[in-house]
Structure 1
Amino acid sequence: MVEISDIFNILHNAVESKHMGKKISQAAMAKKLGVSMRTYQDWRLGTSKPQAAMAMFLMLCELEEEDVNFVLGKLKRLMEK
Structure 2
Amino acid sequence: MNTSDIFNLLHSSVEAQQLGKRISHKEMAHLLGVSMRTYQEWRLGNNAPKAVKAVFKMLGLLNDDDVVRLIKRVKNAQREVR
RMSD: 0.6
Give every structure 1 segment of 4 or more consecutive aligned residues whose post-TM-superposition deviation is greater than 6 Å.
none
For 2:55 and 2:75, locate their aligned partners in 1 and report how far apart those are by CA, in whole Å: 15
TM-score, normalization: structure 1? 0.96
Residue-pair matches, total: 80
TM-score, normalization: structure 2? 0.95
Give structure 1 stretches of 5+ with no counterpart. Answer: none
For 1:15-37, what per-residue CA distance to the aligned partner results, in whole angstroms no more than 9, with x for missing partners? Answer: 00000000000000000000000
For 1:13 and 1:33, locate their aligned partners in 2 and report how far apart those are by CA, in whole Å: 15
Q: Which moved more, 1:17-26 or 1:45-54?
A: 45-54
Q: Describe how 1:39-54 pairs up with structure 2 within 5 A.
A: 39-54=38-53
Identity percentage over the alignment? 47
